[in-house]
Structure 1
Amino acid sequence: MTLTSFEDALRVGIIQTTIENTSAWTESVQMTRYEEERVIAEIQQHVASLSLEKPRPHIILLPELSVPTGFLQRLRRISAQTNAIIIAGMDFHVTERHPTKKVVNRAAVIVPDGWGRRDRSTRTTISYVGKTYPAWREDQFLKKLGYEFQKTPEVWLFEAGPFGRFAVAICYDFLDLERVAMYRLRIQNLFVIAYNNDLSSFEHAAEALARMIYCNIVVCNTGHFGGSAVLSPYHKSEKRLLYRHQGNGLSTSQTVSLPIASLIEAQSGGAKGDFKSLPPGAEANPGLIEIETSILL
């Protein structure tokens, strides 16, 4: 694709649900019935609100561990109706029960077949991005219930046609330096879905990695803690932070526009415009805009 083939901006809807871990996961790795019903109501309310926006979001994010497994099929219908990719942190998924009980923590990437081309789709495809490294408290919680965290040592890059490329990281994986090296100058957007109470550390990391990877970074955290943020590697600090939400216990949603074509031009060694210089040691990648891309598979 040529530079002129890329869209100016990607609209991303960020939804914060307010699941409280001590009541959602008590004696099981699946959410309690009460929390399931409450979070489903929150999701439906915010998706309905985002779908009324003109124009609608291209992509909608839901935090880590925020979607009950039984709600996935309904979420696929919502993706088709809104024609938005939905990246959703799913509840724990049990992969083995004998001889060892194992679970994975994963995100569902739901892609409608008419994404980017129509107002409504007829079907969706789904891929899963797994978490590689559990947080310490997550690991201890699972062990207490007799489960072993099953690592998913994979890194996905998603082709999104005129919207460039994006990657998805789940919470603690965001701090994995090997991923940072793999993402560097290869993506335009990194979506981080989280259930994280170390808010300042994640925001500081997002600002640093937006420069090191040289991409837009969106952190979608649980509303129980707050702390979602969107950053882009702009030169001016007041422009770099596109969105921040602080305040705990708040169920919210917001749509943010992320630069695409202008960022790709800067990544490719063209005019950097409002963006910072390429990171030290990084060479411009002129082949970035020549790679044949397609809508997500």
Structure 2
Amino acid sequence: MTEIYSTRLAASLKLGIVQTSLDPAAAWVTGTKMSPGEEERAITEIRGFFAAFRQEKIPPDIIVLPELAVPSGFETQLRRMAGQMQSVVIAGFDYRDGGSPGEVHNEALLIVPKRWRDRAMGAKVTTRRIGKTYAAPEEDKKLRAIAHTFQRDPSVWLFDGGEIGTFGVMVCYDFLDLERIAMYRGKVQHLFILALNKDATSFRHVAEAVARMAFCNVIICNCGHFGGSLAVSPYRLSERRTIYQHAGPSLATAQIIELPVASLDLHQHGADPMKDGVKEFKSLPPGYIFSTVLIERLAGIV
């Protein structure tokens, strides 16, 4: 089993996390597009962080940016920057108008450069739109107040990253969808959540729980105005489980981290990798490898 899985996957995934400081209260004052001032600030921060990442001898495999962090008019430039970095970029974009008046989409854009991890990927940069299924209650309320309707996208995406493993992408409130989490269970090494979330503490608790139940790396890239970006992995030792966490409001920051891939995949398939004589990961959750059909029973106690 070691030979089957460890040889096809890299030891780790190199991830760049960008936390922009976009102020939601200032960004969408009159409609569903960023104000010019916030748009200019967002672009300046993104360019600066990508310039810092370019100083790396080996670029990040993937770069993630928060929900609604990228102005819609910056897509062409971001595609070009992904190509220059030779990094896959997963970014939350500003609201996109739907097919009917008043409809808007909240989407992430996955950008695959022409060259990635030292090999050709295609003749041109390719993209995939990942729509949000459920608007957060406050988001839905604000959109309705300006006569707009949130357009749902019911898709659940699985991406084959080759050597860096399989991953899923969710946009903010969809992270609380139990059916979606169950669909990812046993199928991914990484879950990326692009967020604009005030309650970073609750999302941290959910991330820790999902890392155990879906048994994968969970990465939350949150808006820096609220803070709380983090990455957790289901390591056995508690001091290793939080790979990255950035707390504090109104902070723009970027960080490069490494996430386990091959050893995690080994454990997902029933092996028990060791590090310094200690088991690397927690035990797999019940039902992960095999499941028993559960029977619902109803009984009264009065």
Query: Match of 1:225?
Result: 226
Asked if 1:44 is matched to 2:50, the reply is: no
Give the CA deviation at 1:54: 2.7
Q: CA deviation at 1:2?
A: 3.3
Whole-angstrom CA distance in 1 between matches of 2:96 and 2:286: 41
Deviations 1:25-67 (A, max 9, x none): 0111000111111100000000110121232211000000000
- Matched residue of 1:39: which SS? helix
C-alpha distance in structure 2 between counterparts of 1:9 and 1:133, whole Å? 32
Offset at residue 183 of structure 1 (A)? 0.5
Alignment RMSD: 1.7
1:22 counterpart letter in structure 2: A
State the number of aligned residues: 283
Q: Distance in 2 between matches of 1:174 and 1:29?
A: 23
In structure 2, the partner of 1:207 is 208
For residue 115 of structure 1, report the CA deviation from its aligned partner.
1.2
The residue number in structure 1 matching 2:154 is: 153
The answer to whether the Cα contact below 8 Å between 1:80 and 1:123 also exists between their aligned partners in 2 is no
Find the aligned partners of 1:271 and 1:127 in 2 and give their Cα distance: 35
Specify the SS of the correspondent of 1:27: coil
Q: How does 1:90-101 map to 2 (within 5 A)?
A: 90-98=93-101, 101=102
Which consecutive residues of structure 1, in runs of 5 or more, have no partner in the other structure? 286-297
Shift of 1:97: 3.7
CA distances 1:206-242 after superposition (whole Å, capped 9, x unpaired) = 0000010000011000100110010001011100000
Q: Specify the SS of the correspondent of 1:257.
A: strand
TM-score, normalised with respect to structure 1: 0.92
Aligned to 1:9: 12
Query: How far, CA to CA, are the matches of 2:55 and 2:160 in structure 1?
Result: 27
Q: Which deviations, in whole Å up to 9, do the C-alpha atoms of 1:64-87 show, x marking residues without a partner?
A: 000001000000000000000000
Q: Secondary structure at the match of 2:116?
A: coil
Change (3 A) 1:120 1:266: closer
**1:171-208 deviation line (CA, Å, top 9, x unaligned):** 00011000111100100000000000101100000000
1:164 aligns with 2:165: yes
* Paired amino acid for 2:92: G
2:169–2:192 contact (8 Å) kept in structure 1: yes
CA distance in 1 between partners of 2:213 and 2:57 (Å):
33
1:5 aligns to what SS in structure 2?
coil
1:110-259 residue pairs with structure 2 within 5 A? 110-118=111-119, 123-259=124-260
- Find the aligned partners of 1:38 and 1:263 in 2 and give their Cα distance: 38
Identity %: 46
CA distance in 1, matches of 2:181, 2:19: 25
State the shift of 1:271 in Å: 1.7
Q: CA deviation at 1:258?
A: 0.4
Shift of 1:120: 11
- Does residue 76 of the first structure (1) align with residue 79 of the second (2)? yes
**Cα distance in 2 for residues equivalent to 1:284 and 1:185:** 10
C-alpha distance in structure 2 between counterparts of 1:281 and 1:45, whole Å: 45
Q: Distance in 1 between matches of 2:72 and 2:255?
A: 24
Larger Rg: 2
Structure-2-length-normalised TM-score:
0.91
Counterpart residue type for residue 213 of structure 2:
M
Shift of 1:163: 1.1
